[in-house]
Structure formats: structure tokens, C-alpha cells
Chain A
């Protein structure tokens, strides 16, 4: 990092807003940091000020029978999940870095795991937010009720915004009862196309598994993991459906520990050495994308949330191979009708491998207008996200 960075740990929402307003006035750039688990995301982290939200850690409101929870943004995910667990509830989110990540960071990074197969991602769980803006104001959107169309849904703009529009200081989420039962199926295939076909067959049924994950390593078998939660009889039937879907082209077995098998796959972006490309694809394009991915030099592993079309590819090798692989995978995602980003690469390649490549995003000019409207002096994470 080329300049001296000043860390500011804010204690209140108002202080957070004041720090942003001062920085905006002085033209000092600001990076917002929760637990710092996802610093690898995006391009440059360079900033004059690191605004730390970790002290904004508090469960603001939780009425169990309302199935909602409101938390300050710096509250650790693990703290929230533990408090909910005590009354038999949970957030239906399974992000990576679950042991340290904060709720605000999960929102700002649009960090979701495999459960979106059934429950959707952050955008389907977040129902209200308060943000600190660079004019020193605090703005609320949504609320604490599960259904709400009063005014624009600013929550959606914050999700994945990487701290470029404002600092999230409080969020409200839907919560769900803990499931009565959980079980799973692990199936093994020789060809990736067969694993995806089996996943598709399950996704086409009303079984609604919690996770539907295809996993393949270089020179190895391909796996399909199906995790089902809920009523015991429905869970058993879902496992039967999954086993039947796999039986023609692979082998399947009931595996009550599927959730354990999924844990390291979820942490792929957190742990990978090398580069990780994350693609968001139309579901039916996954086999073609996987076919391309496996032929890229340095291909190490592919992990797909096959129900949602979110595919991560891990590549290893020398720098030139990583650069070439990232280019090829970004292009392949676009060709398949989706989009992609380089989610992680070695720090030494951060400047050389742009997270979003050189692709033009649809609606970029509107995103730039929004960025200018919320951050007119351009101080919030100025070179981190795709909108500059």
C-alpha cells in the first residue's frame, strides 16, 4: 500500500456518518471494514481511512414470533446465529468466513453459500437497512416487516456494493425456524455433464433441497452433494429423489454428513492458493462452462451451486497461467449468457488481474450515476468495485 492509512473505529451510527462526511469534505478516500475477512474481493483496497464497524456490534431487536432480527452492522454472523439458535431459529444464510464475518460485511460483499438453492441469497433475506452517507446523514430503507413496498428498495443496491455507496450501519433480516431434520446424498460421476444433469433433474422436482452442489477436481471423479432440511418424511423422500436422479450415470449413497462435506467447499474463496473465478450463469449453461473450465491450464477445482448457477473455478500455477485462465473464464461466462469476476488472486497479481476484466457491464452508466449521486466526491472505495 502506497500511503499511510488511518484506521477509525466508530462507536455509533452518528459517528460513522460524521467520519464519512468529514472524509468527503476533505477528499480523503475511505474503505469500510467489518471483520476484514474478504479483503481479497475487488481491485484496489487503497484508502486514506479505514472505517472499522466492528464496535457496532449489537442485536437491536429480535421478536422471535415475528421471524425477523435487526442487528448493528458490525455484529458477527456467528453471534447472530447463536442468539437465534437459542430460540430454535436461524438465518437462512451460509456464507463463507462464518466464524468471523460481520453481518454488514456479508451484505456489502453479497456473500452467500449453498443454501440459496432453497432460501435465496442475501437479497432474499435482507428486508431493511440503515446506511451512513457521505453527506453525514443516516438513511433507512425497508423496515422490520417481511413484506414492504413503501419507497425504493435501497437494500438491493447495498448488497454487493463493497462499501462504495455508503456505510451499512444496521440491517434487518428474515429468520426461519430450525428444521426438524436434515439428511443428504453424495453421488459420484465420471463426467461433469452427468453430475450437472443429475442436479438439474433434482432442481426440476418440487423437492427444494437446501443445497445442490456439484464439485469436481482435476483428474478426479465428480460429486453431487444434495442436502435436504425440514420435515423428516419430506427429507427422506428428497434423498430418494436425489439418489434416483444420480443412479443412471453415477453411484449414490445416503450421507448424513453431507453438511460437513460442504463446509470446506464453501470456504474455497477463503482458502484457495492461486486464483478463484466466480461466475453467475443461467443454470443450463453450467455444463458448457464446466467443460471449458476443466480444459483451462491450471484447472484445480470447480464448485457449483447448481440450483442457482453460481460456479467457482479454482486455478493454480505460475502467474502467466493464472492470468490466462482468468481471462478465459471471464470470457467463457459471458459467452454462456452470464457474467463473472476474479474473486481472488495472489496479492502480487492484484494490480495485474482486474477483478471484472475489461467487460462492459449492462447498465454501467446508470450505476455510475448512482455512484455519483450517493458519493459525489468519489471517496468511498474509489478503485475497488466495477463502478468508477
Chain B
């Protein structure tokens, strides 16, 4: 779906020429052929930027922001473009700032268990670099081989292992940011608690709407000594869901509890061959980690609970290789959807854990009602659903969006949230009134205005926009 909006400010050739004078030709893209490569991300919406810049340092970013501010041009940060809510899409045009050339580890500070990195650094590269020191960066989105730390900060990314260890915001202690007017600000540092308001905490998860992050200080965590990984297959999703609740009720907090339904399993097996049983109605992937002591006992208790809830297959990974294979299935699940359909639309709603069975039933009803296949592969431990609505052709998109909205409405009505880790972006900003009252959004707007009074930082995201959301508002009131 292409979105266009009319705005004042510099556009087209004039904008590209101005940026080229500022940064030199090697850092600016402005031809149609170049720009269309930046019109999409991992979601379904598209919009073409007026220009793309590739800064090599903070002063480049600040110069671009000052230029954009002076000429009233939106500025949109972009990491690897793996985002799933259109966060990197310049919905109102303007300049996309790609951090592809700011991808260094500035400092691996082992004594402080911190790393200082540039925003374009790929998530997995940080953990790989820290591993020889017995440390790693905890958040592990399934896209961690491609996604960047800057994107993780913008979206407050999670991953399968956030159940026990927290999401990105729990692991960031300092930021250098560039405001949309070009001001460079350092927030926090290597210490955990600064004085004054926690601006680092407010910035993480702000989806590029408060400014651009140019440097990130993160906590590194000691690698677990050992892990136990269990695959449990059930006849139904209800049995798998009941097992999740029973594990939590037994006082066990595993490092990860992931769930897949039969359709997701079919895709994963076709694409990855992870060894998931194809006759299962629901699969759990459970991992415990930490010190070696106690792991066998914990995983045995989890096995007992799964068995009591009807598990038909229980298989512990016997080797690191087998564990990697089990995880390759989970982490490759989104990509594997290509085996089932040419395209998918993924939702990211969160529900209280105890509401899993009923909301999964609602998803099945939505699927049947719209005649759309929906695969489920998600973070069951923290109630973060990922229903993948499969489709073949853009002509189906209105129906697909409708199905997505019905699922999100069910999540919010169950006491949950529109998004657990993918962000609101331009994909769900019209739906924000489902979850938040006008007064709630007005309070958030105060934060936006404090950081970005001119409204040039990634406009058209998070907050409902009068133009694009009118249709939804009408639908909601009828």
C-alpha cells in the first residue's frame, strides 16, 4: 500500500542537491532507482523517500537534521529495514537516514560489562564480539542476524529470551541522540541510574519520533553456563496453552517459552527441517539456562507438567547442535511462511498469559470468517502473539487488515496491548485509540512536543493522523 501525503518544505532535486552540497555525493542517494530500494521494510506498507543519506558519523547526522529542520523536511532513521510496523517508511516523504555506515563497536568495556556501539551495528555481531569475554547482549529478536542495535532501541525490541531477562530497554544505559533540529544530546552513560528524568527510558521504543540515535551504551550479561532445551508436542493448542500456565503457576520462570501451531510447524518443517512433529496440534519450545546446577531438575519438572497436560512427544536437545536446530526452526519461522503463501501480515498483540486459550480460539474464528489461513508462532511465556495472516495478492489486503484488526481488538479487550515488540509505526497508529483514551495520547504528545516541537522526526507514526486514520475513525464510530 503506498501512502502519500502533501507537505510543505523542500522536495525532489532541490533537496538532493542541497544534501549533496552538505555531505558530498558519496553519502547521498537521489535517483529514482536508488530511492525505490528504500520504500519498504519488513511490513507491508511502502512510501518512497525524497532522498537517502548515508552518514559516517554523528556530525553528518546532525548536519542533515539541521538542514532538514531549516527546510521543513521530515527525517526518518533506518537500520536494516527488518521492522514489522513500517517504522522506517517515510510515510510523509523526506530524508531517510540509513545507518549502514555507522556499524562499529566503539568500545567493548569488559570491566564495566558494557558496550558502546553505533546504531548500524547488527545485533548478533555484538554478542559474537562479546562472547570471548564470557558476555552477551540479551535481546535476541528472530531477525538478530540482520537487525541493528539502533532499530532495537527505536522499537524496544524483544525476542524469545526476554521472558527472564527483559527487553531492549532493560539493557540500555546510555544514548547519544540527535534531535530533529540537529542538537546532539548525550543521555545517561555507563552507570545504571542517572539524575533527573530517565530520558534514556523515554527514548527507547520511541520509534524514531523523538530523534535519531547515534550511539548506544548497553549492558552485557554473563553467558549462561549451560542450557536445557525441550520440545513438547501436544494434540491441541489448548493443551499447549494449559502447560504454559501450569509451568508459570509451578513457580518456574524459564528463559524462553515459545509456541507454534500446526500451520507454522508445517512451514518450518518444509523450510528448515527443525525436527518438529508434523502431526502436532501445538508445539512448545522451552528453555532453561543459568548455572548448570538445577537445570536438569527444572526441565524434568517442566516435562512432567507437559505430560500431565497431554504432551504426546517430549524431546530434550541432547547436544548444542540439536538445540541450535530446534531454535533455527523457531527463528526461521517467519521466513518459512514463503512455503505456504507468497505474503504474510504479522500482528504482534500481547495478552495476559491466562487469556491465551480464548484469544487463540478467536484467531481461529477470524481465520474461518475471512477465509484466510493464519499461522501462529509466538512468545507464549509473556503472552506476545504473532499471528501470521497469509495471503497471495495485494488485492486481499483490505480483508487481511480487517482480520488483523479483529485480532488486535480481541487482544486489547482481553486486557492486553496492540504490540509487544514490533512497534506501532504507521501500521497500527490508527488503532491506538483502541488501547488508549484521548487523555493518554495527549500525555504522550507532550513528550513528542518536548523532543520534536517541529514534528519532523519520523512523522505519521505512533499517533493517529487525521488524514490516514479518518477512515478507521469513521468505522470505529459506526
Contacts and interface: CB of A to CB of B under 8 A. Distances in A.
Interface of A: 63-68, 88, 110, 116, 120-121, 123-124, 131, 133, 137-141, 143-157, 159-161, 165, 176-178, 180, 200, 203-208, 230-234, 236-238, 280-285, 308-310, 337-341, 356, 361-364, 366-367, 369-370, 372-374, 385-387
Contacts of A131: 443
A237 B226 CA distance: 14
6 contacts: A147-B420, A283-B112, A283-B113, A285-B112, A367-B196, A374-B443
Contact of A337 (B191, B202, B251, B351): B191
B296 to A, nearest CB: 9
Contacts of A208: 222, 290
Contact of B293 (A150, A157, A234, A341): A234
Q: Which 4 A-B pairs have the closest CB atoms?
A: A156-B201, A231-B294, A177-B251, A139-B443
B450 A140 contact: no
B196 A284 contact: no
B271 interface: no
B192 A308 contact: yes
Interface residues of B, number: 89
A131 B442 CA distance: 12
B298 interface: yes
Given A284-B112, A363-B187, A370 B197 contact: yes
A205 B225 CA distance: 8
A150 to B, nearest CB: 5
Interface in B431-476: 432, 435-437, 439-444, 446-451, 462
B142 to A, nearest CB: 15
A27 B252 CA distance: 52
A18 B161 CA distance: 43
Contact of A364 (B158, B188, B196): B196
A370 B190 CA distance: 23
Contacts of B451: 366, 369
A65 B205 contact: no
B227 to A, nearest CB: 11
A348 B294 CA distance: 54
Given A363-B187, A367-B197, A370-B446, A153 B205 contact: yes
Nearest to A63: B354
A143 B416 contact: yes
B199 A120 contact: no
B438 to A, nearest CB: 9
B114 interface: yes
B435 A67 contact: no
A157 B169 CA distance: 13
B130 to A, nearest CB: 12
A59 to B, nearest CB: 16
A206 B223 CA distance: 6
A372 B449 CA distance: 11
A146 B383 contact: yes
B225 A206 contact: yes
B417 interface: yes
Contacts of A284: 109, 111-112
Contacts of A367: 196-197, 199
A145 B196 contact: no
A213 to B, nearest CB: 15
B415 interface: yes
B189 interface: yes
B383 A123 contact: no
Contacts of B417: 143, 145, 147-150
Nearest to A116: B192
Contacts of A177: 251-253
A287 to B, nearest CB: 10
B352 A68 contact: yes
Interface string B348-384: 0011111000000000000000000000000100111
B368 to A, nearest CB: 26
A370 B450 contact: yes
Given A151-B440, A283-B112, A120 B166 contact: yes
Interface stretch (B8-16, B48-56, B62-70, B421-429): B421-429
B251 A147 contact: no
B222 A231 contact: no
B324 to A, nearest CB: 19
Nearest to B197: A367
Contacts of A233: 293-294, 297
A386 B199 contact: no
Nearest to A66: B352
Given A65-B245, A153-B201, A236-B293, A121 B437 contact: no
Nearest to B248: A65
Nearest to B156: A149
Interface string B314-338: 0000000000000000000000000
A32 B440 CA distance: 21
A258 B430 CA distance: 53
B193 A310 contact: yes
A230 B443 contact: no
Contact of A366 (B109, B162, B199, B248): B199
A232 B291 CA distance: 12
B258 to A, nearest CB: 13
B170 interface: yes
A362 B186 contact: yes
A123 B444 contact: no
A160 to B, nearest CB: 7
Contacts of A139: 439-440, 442-443
Contacts of B444: 141, 151-152, 154
A88 B252 CA distance: 12
A231 B293 contact: yes
Q: Which of B187, B352, B418 has the most CB of A within 10 A?
A: B352
Contacts of A340: 195
B194 A362 contact: yes
